[in-house]
Each structure stands twice: as C-alpha cells, then as structure tokens.
Amino acid sequence: MRRALAVLVLLLVATGCAGRDFVRTPAESLALGKTTEAEIRQRHGSPYREGTVMKNGETVKTLVYAYAEGAASLAGGVVPARAQGFYFMNGVLVGHEFTSSFEQDKTDFDASKVQQIAKGQATEPSVIALLGKPQGAYRYPLIKDRAGRGLVYLYQQSRGTAFNMKVYNQLLVVALDEQGVVRDVEFSSSGER
C-alpha cells in the first residue's frame, strides 16, 4: 500500500504532473470503522488514483489524493509533494495516512528513536511524546490484530531531476492493543535521502 503511495508521488514528480492540490483531512474528523468512502469522496472529490489491495486475506479499496510542485525538481532539491491515502473495507474506513515534503506540513520523523519503543511496555501517549503526532491510523486488516489499532508515521521525499531522481521512504506502524499498549513495531525505509 505505502509502496503504491510512494510510486504515485514519484510519478507525479517525474512526469511533471502536479495532481490537484488538496487540504489534508484532519485525523480528528476521521473515524476508523465509521467514516465512509462516500464521505471522503464528498469532501475531496475524485481521487488522483484508486484501486484495491489484499491485506491479511481481505480486499481493501484505496483512494489516493496527491499533489506535487514539479518545478522544484529542476534545481535538484527536494520536490514539494503531499499525498493522503484512505483505505476501505466494505465501504468503511479502515485506515488513512498522510505524507508531505512541503515545509509547512512536513511529515519527517526521527527514525533513530524507533528502537526506544518497547513492545509490551510503551503506550500510545509515550509513542506520541517520543515521535510527535502520527500521520495516520490503521485497523484490521491493515494490522493483524482485529481488536487493535495502529499509529502510522510516514515520510516520503523525491530529490533531483526527472533524469536523476532519488526517492526516500520511511514508514513506522506501531500496533496497539485495546488498552493502548504497544504490541508490535514495524519500521521500514528505502531509497536515498
């Protein structure tokens, strides 16, 4: 899923396609298990991209809204881009995530702190104190535990020109149990900053 979001942002940047600028939907206005696909479409209109993925044996529908200012890539610096992904099962929201390399809403986080999150000991407030507010949230089937939920930290950037593009991605999903205690920590990064 996140790979699809990263590829989409890269394609926007590399092709000079800007997408349509959008305002991030605040996490507080999204309710996992309640917000519907129709509500998201009503707020944002048609997505830049939509599709389906299989996760934990379930089919999940994806809607992605994305925007990039391609002109910055001519100088070889970080291309300002943002994307917000929404994930639905049976028409109901099961996850959302946001990434941005724009300075005003940049989602970069300090990956060196991930090792400080102790499974079975850390809690949601301690994770937020360590890394800041998450950029998204997941529930089953985007995480394995049917009763739990996940905090999502996501950052993606593209640097360079259309002929020499370097992409960097980092994703952290912290799975919490019903009491808000950390049960699993999944971190991945790829590419070059």
**Model pLDDT, residue 79:** 84
Using the predicted structure, report yes or no on whether residue 71 has a pLDDT greater than 70. no
Q: Which tens digits make up the pLDDT trace of 151-162?
A: 999 999 988 766
pTM to 2 decimal places? 0.88
**Model pLDDT, residue 164:** 77
Tell me the chain's radius of gyration from C-alpha atoms.
16
Q: Which tens digits make up the pLDDT trace of 172-186?
A: 999 999 999 999 999
Q: Which tens digits make up the pLDDT trace of 100-113?
A: 999 899 999 999 99
Quickly count: other Cβ atoms within 10 Å of residue 61's Cβ.
Answer: 16
